[in-house]
Structure 1
Amino acid sequence: MNDARTPSTHVRPKLLLLMPMAQEHQAQLRQRFDVIDAPTAALRAQAVAEHGADIQVVLTIGAVGLRADEIAALPRLGFAAALGAGYENIDVAAARARGIALANGAGTNDACVADHAMALLLASVRALPQQEQALRAGVWRDALPLRPSVNGRRLGILGLGTIGMRIARRAAAFDMEVGYHNRRARPDADSYRYFDSVMALAHWADFLVVAAPGGPGTRHIVNADVLQALGPQGHLVNIARGSLVDTAALAQALAAGQLGGAALDVYESEPHPPQELLGFPNVILTPHIAGWSPESVQATVDLFLLNAQRWQDGQPLQTPL
């Protein structure tokens, strides 16, 4: 008799896909799985109701997650994975209580996210969108305010994980001084200055990049006090999760001139744009694409397939949670 981990050679395991995915990557999944494509809430509920008894694998992302009630409705579920690094909305406790193997896409898009973070920082500090808009309107440089450089400035990184470390290395190439805040200092980051609180980091930094994980423990960790500490010449970049930044406080700080600018790839209102921020010319917004490139997306799919194969073979996962 077959269990969830060792399906018969004649029947491919059923995989519930909970987010949009390009057809070329779905085709890769369909070579190994019977894929149930459920990228919307309605299709998701329908899939669980109609196929829950047979689903053995779930592929999701951190923002979409996998709820405890859904896990309970999938009696044969043996493996669930987040395609990217984040997994904040997967009920890990419920999955572990059932003995379900869990993995994520750690490391697959770190370089791409770090590149995007630096692009946002440069665009915000140098006011690139505003400069282009002025030029298109016929305004030449003599009528525009001088914008500061990033070289020689202080960059604070909130969350010096694998992505944060890549951002730090890129910042060093711009001759920036790097400081960071984690729950504890990293022994392998002696060249960067450690701060034991977000407030201390914000007071020290000229610019602050948010690169910490999402979840209840970091919700609104960048609040009104942190933004005020960053100051009227400071710039905020968020490539982590929208929940880390208090959007209302950010809007108030910008309106009061307490912050120089913000460049965000993630928002509390996703997938809808943050309405409170749309009227500010010194805010740059991108649609949660920091980790998206042809190379990085393919790498996440490849890693998922590797983890799935290792699960089916009874081997340790490559990137377990």
Structure 2
Amino acid sequence: MAKPDILQVGPYPAWDEEPLNEAFQVHRYFDATDKDAFLKEVGPRIRAIATRGDLGASRAMIDACPQLEVISVYGVGFDAVDLAACRARGIHVTNTPDVLTNDVADLGVAMMLCLARGVIGAESWVKDGSWVEKGTYPLKRQVSGRRAGILGLGRIGFAIAQRLKGFDIDIAYCGPSPKEHAKGMTYIADPVALAERSDFLFVALAASAATRHIVGREVIAALGTDGMLINISRASNIDEEALLEALESGALGSAALDVFEGEPKLNRRFLTLPNVLVQPHHGSGTIETRKAMGQLVRDNLNAHFAGQPLLTPVF
């Protein structure tokens, strides 16, 4: 039986490429020089799209594939997929939740600790001779016993909360409604009020049109001169211009960021700020998790073409 034709939007690690090529007739969009011509040629045969959360699938790409049945996203975020186009045509969409929850939560907490305790600056202090020449590294702020706010208590937000409890941190969260499983945490309906009572504000929301720039000037101002913003969700959840202005003026204490608008070509103003920790969007960046993500992408595709229920459907 002929292998189903799929469009691969971006590269995967070799351990995913090989089994994908064995199971499907893969058309590598990212290798095409003239991508419009490539889509015009292979689009009529495409039954599935394998993409990444950061790359998604545009309406133009979806429209170029009239036989498209399913889009399998390598990543938990699916905001870069044109969901309206998919719903209009009955195209299924899947993602890879759960398997990356722990790694993303780990990185979020690690960024908080790293920035609060000045780990990167302190290492440079030792290596460049400042410890010998200037003495003790400048004092930083305590983490244990302080207050954290989590904007979005989904899988990742809850995993962050579980880790923060080990530091005896007072935790509050914000979302559409209180969560039954949020034992010992305070529910606050308003993001501004959440920021106002937080020393550390974690952004763990799924991105959507409704959450775009939810962390705007009011939230940033409420977090204040001693506050830290940690974003391991999507860049669109934060008003980057407002964030940069606050960081540059000192209106916001600091920010630890794993995601950026236009990444990897982020706004270079971030690179000059001493109160910012930047990371290359690698919240799920462990070998174990990336292998599990790739497996789930393939498992969803295999289930679809076998006529079985999808493992992790978005819809």
Alignment TM-score, normalising by the size of structure 1: 0.93
Contact 1:157 1:179 in 2 (8 A): yes
Contact 2:39 2:64 in 1 (8 A): yes
Question: What secondary structure, in the 3-state scheme, does the structure 2 residue paired with 1:122 have?
Answer: helix
For residue 176 of structure 2, the aligned residue among 183, 187, 191 is: 183
2:218 is matched with 225
**Cα distance in structure 2, aligned partners of 1:313 and 1:265:** 37
Deviation at 1:205, TM superposition (A): 0.5
**Cα distance in structure 2, aligned partners of 1:50 and 1:314:** 27
Deviation at 1:58, TM superposition (A): 0.1
Once the two structures are superposed, the pairs formed by residues 21-60 of structure 1 within 5 Å of their partners are 21-39=12-30, 42=33, 44-60=35-51
Contact 1:248 1:276 in 2 (8 A): no
For residue 112 of structure 2, the aligned residue among 90, 104, 121 is: 121
1:5 is matched with none
Contact 2:100 2:293 in 1 (8 A): yes
1:66 is matched with 57
2:209 is matched with 216
**Residue identity opposite 2:18 in structure 1:** A
Q: Which moved more, 1:183-192 or 1:75-84?
A: 183-192
Deviation at 1:143, TM superposition (A): 4.0
Is 1:298 the counterpart of 2:291? The answer is yes
**Residue identity opposite 1:305 in structure 2:** R
1:80 is matched with 71
**Residue identity opposite 1:125 in structure 2:** A
Is 1:173 the counterpart of 2:129? The answer is no
**Cα distance in structure 2, aligned partners of 1:189 and 1:41:** 48
Is 1:238 the counterpart of 2:231? The answer is yes
2:85 is matched with 94
Contact 1:14 1:54 in 2 (8 A): yes
Deviations 1:204-258 (A, max 9, x none): 0000111101122111111122111111111111110111111111111112112
1:251 is matched with 244
Deviations 1:32-55 (A, max 9, x none): 011111227855434311100101
Is 1:266 the counterpart of 2:259? The answer is yes
Deviations 1:74-98 (A, max 9, x none): 1211111111110002112211221
**Cα distance in structure 2, aligned partners of 1:36 and 1:42:** 13
**Cα distance in structure 2, aligned partners of 1:136 and 1:126:** 17
What is the aligned residue count?
A: 312
**Residue identity opposite 1:33 in structure 2:** F
Question: What secondary structure, in the 3-state scheme, does the structure 2 residue paired with 1:227 have?
Answer: helix
Deviation at 1:136, TM superposition (A): 2.1
Is 1:13 the counterpart of 2:9? The answer is no
**How large is the Cα RMSD of the aligned pairs?**
1.6
Question: What secondary structure, in the 3-state scheme, does the structure 2 residue paired with 1:215 have?
Answer: coil
Contact 1:84 1:300 in 2 (8 A): yes
Q: Give identity over the alignment, percent.
A: 37
Structure 2 gap segments, 5+ residues each? none
**Cα distance in structure 2, aligned partners of 1:72 and 1:272:** 28
1:4 is matched with none
4+ runs of 1 displaced by more than 6 Å? none
**Residue identity opposite 1:177 in structure 2:** D
**Cα distance in structure 2, aligned partners of 1:21 and 1:284:** 27
**Cα distance in structure 2, aligned partners of 1:219 and 1:38:** 29
Contact 1:18 1:40 in 2 (8 A): no
Deviation at 1:274, TM superposition (A): 2.3
Contact 2:227 2:252 in 1 (8 A): yes
Contact 2:5 2:46 in 1 (8 A): yes
Structure 1 gap segments, 5+ residues each? 1-8
**Cα distance in structure 2, aligned partners of 1:167 and 1:42:** 42
1:155 is matched with 148
**Cα distance in structure 2, aligned partners of 1:37 and 1:85:** 22
Deviations 1:113-154 (A, max 9, x none): 011101111111111111112222322385432111211011
Q: Which moved more, 1:78-87 or 1:65-74?
A: 65-74
Contact 1:247 1:276 in 2 (8 A): no
